[in-house]
Amino acid sequence: MSKAIRIFWALLFTGLISFILLIALIAWGVFGKLPSLQELENPSLTLASEVFAEDSSSMGKYYTARGNRVHVDYKDISPNVIHALVSTEDERFYEHSGIDGKAVLRAVLKLGRDGGGSTITQQLALNMFNGERSHNRIKRGIQKLKEWIIAIRLERNFTKEEILTLYLNDVSFSDNVYGIRGAARTFFQKEPADLSVDEAAVLVGMVNNPSFFNPRTNIKAATERRNIVINRMVTNNFIPATDAVTLKSKPIDLSHYRKLDENNGIAPYLRDILRGDLKKWCKDHVNPATGQPYNLYTDGLKIFTTINPVMQQYADQAVERQMPVLQRQLDSRPAIRKGEAWAEHGNILDAAMRNSERWRNDQEAGMSEAAIRNDFNTPARMRVFAWTARHEKDTVMSPLDSIRYHRQMLETGFMVMDPFTGAIKAWVGGIDFKTYKFDHVNLSTKRQVGSSIKPFLYSLAIEDFGFTPQTECEAVQQFFPEYNAYVPARARPNVSGTRTMATGLAWSINEVAAYIMKQMGPKGPDRFAEFLKQINIPTAVQPYPSLALGACELSLYEMLSGYTMFPTGGFNVEPYYISRIEDKHGNVLADFSSHQKEVLNQVTAYTMARMMQGPVDIGTAKGLRERLGLAEMGGKTGTTNDNSDAWFIGYTPQLLAGVWIGCDDRFIHMGAGVGDGGQAARPIWEYFFEKALADKSLGLNRNARFPKPDSIPASSLYSNESGIIEKIAPPGAEGIDQGNGNAVQYIDTSAKARSSQY
């Protein structure tokens, strides 16, 4: 044997032994830890948690930047996706055991010109266990060998179908979308099982280079790449060549493209409130797979809510229909148009300016305060919220004017629930979640409730003090010596005499409510405050006589909870919006339901339900029941001083809903005749029920009636013809001179003090 041959064999064996030793050292973890057998058998994908409506349709997700993926099983992935992936990325996938020797040899001999040698299993190993692809040749070589080892181990522990499923759930697509389900939904608004051949080819084509082959930004390259995938599907006998010709001639249809984020999807305000609830739940519950508390953003939880997508759609439409009308009316008021409403509130604008991102950026740029203020008063092109189809418009205004403009937008809260189960069916927390994140429905957001509180007062009067709808009540200002206070704060000469209790409720006469409170004795305000707690309203209110007129702040959520006792026959039903939480495998982790408590006698509840038909028949919301064609319903308007808050809460025997409208800055108000509950808030409620009643899929019955006790006195009954409710001239808007501002306004009874309030 010649010396050259001996050297050749020596080098060959040395190289082979060195390679085997290198593989062994890598396998032993000398060049970095490899995944354990347990980690391989239980691969941990960073999975988004997903929120579902009551019909299991997706509402949105919670995720990290890389965790926007949702797990999907192999059986729920279209064969078109599988065929496209195997044909394009690894055509001998079903033949090798993790490493494709032919592909590796081809890559070495042709220096990667015809593609690399990585199999789908190796790509999965890199994505899940081996970190980002290194650009250093030596490190990349070590990394490649790690992939081989991990790939072989994966092939030993998983079936081919399981490997494909793991890969498709983990791989990244264009627009920072992860996982096949997210990609199918984003680009085509489809489930992975429903993807056609050409759609599957588009998505699989992205995998090679998500940025370059993005059909939204580079349609030419994406189309060419799609056609390459289709050709490879023909080569591998997954589709006939004749079909390929037709498919390649089709344009890529992105008309359904929609990338979900926190600003869109169903009920974004509720999802934001839900996020806080879920983070608390996760903190208190341990994931047995990790031994750590559940992570909302990475553990792939499935959260099922009570939201009805159809009702949510109608609720959104109702808000979209009414709020632009009210905004135009508000903008036309001289005080708003001329800027006079801000004359005494410049401090609010100044605080908003200083807390803005623009102010911080100017400060970081080293600008003086004078220069910054000049910047805020300099007109510039900008995009602002507007009542357009896209909820935005381009305009020119100064940043300071922009702050003023946005703060003058009327806001709303609208909630719909089943009063018997407590399930919340629709939740609209504001006019536009993208621009205005503050929610106006939840327990923490409180506003003056005005006359919408009166049904609670009337219930107490019937339950504890023997009042009936026919009880005659003085319609005059009342003096409370224990508090040295008059309620209402100013007497109205045009309101006098006596009125039946039913008339007082129908026309929302403040003097009648004050009379009822007076008849409860010196401790009447305390008893009423106690009663509010008794009917499960958690906010503690101050026991002043003005409480009879709604001189307290409660949330829309609380108000609807209190109103459940009327259609249910006396039971308070706590609202809820989560039905259950599941882990990523579908195991139920928690179930939720409402709590019920009997708070009223059934006769009292029925009496109130019937008496509250007065406001919607001939009172402050006149004609509402007739227009909707309902056999029975109840409702109550509410308006606060200067029309700063408008309320309407109403219910049928099957459904309860409430509306609040106002500006976040309370000194901006809608004005008399426009901003009362019957004119401002009631149309949202009415439009929603008009749509919901007409939709047969919702099963609402116009002829449904309230549960009537077996034995009920005639005095509890109400009808238009009974004469209990007097058809009087309206005594005036609820919010005019009613004095239901801060409770302390009623302490000083001097004429000067009272007149200065208005």
Rounded CA separation 313/599 (Å): 33
Question: Residue 8: CB partners within 8 Å, gap ≥ 6?
Answer: none
Examine residue 56 and state whether it is found in any structural domain, yes or no: no
Q: Say if residue 522 is preceded by a cis peptide, omega within 30 of 0.
A: no
Asked whether residue 536 falls in the same domain as residue 566, the answer is yes
Q: Do 347 and 473 belong together in one domain?
A: no
Rg (alpha carbons) of the chain, rounded to whole number = 34
Would 287 be classed as within a structural domain? Answer: no
Distance between CA 42 and CA 281 in Å, rounded?
A: 24
Residue 497 lies in a domain: yes
Looking at residue 705, what is its pLDDT?
A: 94
**CA atoms of 365 and 368, how far apart (whole Å):** 9
Same-domain status, 460 and 538: yes
Residue 312 lies in a domain: no
- From the number of C-beta atoms within 10 Å of its C-beta (0-12, 13-18, 19+), residue 124 rates as buried
pLDDT score for 742: 42
CA nearest neighbour of 298 among 282, 316, 309 = 282
> Whole-angstrom Cα distance, residue 595 to residue 496?
43
106 and 150 share a domain?
A: yes
Amino acid at position 249, single letter: S
Same domain, 223 and 371: no
What pLDDT sits at residue 15? 64
Q: What is the pLDDT, as a whole number, of residue 38?
A: 57
Instruction: Please say which residue of 232, 261, 290 terminates a domain.
Output: 261
Clarify whether residues 420 and 402 are in a common domain: no
Q: Which of 204-238 are b and which e, b meaning 16 or more Cβ less than 10 Å from the residue's Cβ?
A: bbbbeebeebbbeebeeebbebbbbbbbbbbeeeb
Whether 677 and 744 map to the same domain: the answer is yes
The mean pLDDT values, 10 residues at a time, for the chain of 758 residues are: 69 63 55 56 72 93 73 92 93 81 58 62 72 55 67 82 89 88 92 95 93 93 96 95 94 88 84 95 92 91 97 98 95 90 92 93 93 94 94 94 95 98 98 95 96 97 94 94 92 86 93 96 96 96 94 97 97 97 94 94 94 93 95 95 92 98 92 79 97 97 93 60 61 50 36 25
d(CA 404, CA 381): 16
CA dihedral over 523, 732, 644, 444, signed as positive or negative: positive
Shared domain for 725 and 673, answered yes or no, is yes
One domain, residues 479 and 394: no
pLDDT of residue 751: 29
Displacement of CA 655 from its chain's centroid (Å): 21
In a domain, 726, yes or no: yes
Residues 24 and 101 in one domain: no
Rounded Cα distance between 510 and 489, Å, is 10
CA distance 437 to 263: 9
**Where is 416: in which H helix or E strand?**
strand 411-417
Q: Give the model's pLDDT for residue 112.
A: 47
Domain holding 144: CATH number? 1.10.3810.10
Query: Can you give the pLDDT at residue 756?
Result: 24
Other C-beta atoms lying within 10 Å of the C-beta of residue 195? 25
pLDDT at 145: 67
Q: Looking at residue 65, what is its pLDDT? A: 59
Confidence at residue 729, expressed as pLDDT on a 0 to 100 scale: 58
- 254: tokens are 């992105």
**Strand, helix or coil for residue 59:** strand
pLDDT for 460 equals: 98
What pLDDT sits at residue 44?
A: 61
Does one domain contain both 399 and 454?
no
Which of 678, 684, 673, 682 lies closest to 329, judged by CA? 673
Q: Cα–Cα distance between 580 and 593 in angstroms, integer?
A: 9
- State residue 289's pLDDT score: 83
What span, in angstroms and rounded, lies between the C-alpha atoms of 550 and 649? 14
User: Residue 624: how many CB atoms within 10 A of its CB?
Assistant: 25
C-alpha 392/C-alpha 386 separation (Å) is: 5
Q: 87 and 29, same structural domain?
A: no
Contacts 24+ apart (CB under 8 A), 122-128: 122/98, 122/147, 122/148, 122/150, 122/151, 123/89, 123/167, 123/171, 124/151, 124/154, 124/163, 124/166, 124/167, 124/170, 125/150, 125/151, 125/154, 127/167, 127/170, 127/171, 128/43, 128/45, 128/166, 128/170
Which of 261, 276, 300 lies at the terminal end of a domain, its last residue? 261
What is the pLDDT at residue 746? 33
Beta strands in 234-370 (DSSP E): 286-287, 292-293, 302-305
Residue 669's pLDDT is: 87
Give domain status of residue 661, yes or no. Answer: yes
Does residue 267 form part of some domain?
A: no
pLDDT tens digits along 499-511 = 999 999 999 999 9
- What pLDDT is recorded for position 505? 95
Number of domains observed in the structure of the chain:
4
Give one word for 388, left, alpha or beta, with left for phi > 0 and alpha for psi -120 to 50: beta
Query: Does residue 329 lie within any of the structural domains?
Result: no
Last residue of a domain, one of 231, 261, 291: 261
Q: Shortest CA distance to 230 belongs to which of 254, 246, 215, 213?
A: 246
Quote the CA–CA distance of 549 and 331 in Å, as a whole number. Answer: 29
How far is it, in rounded angstroms, from Cα 563 to Cα 656?
Answer: 8
The sign of the CA dihedral 81, 83, 88, 93 is positive
Q: 385 lies in which domain range?
A: 338-407
CATH number for the domain including 459? 3.40.710.10
CA separation for the pair 229, 250 (Å, rounded): 14
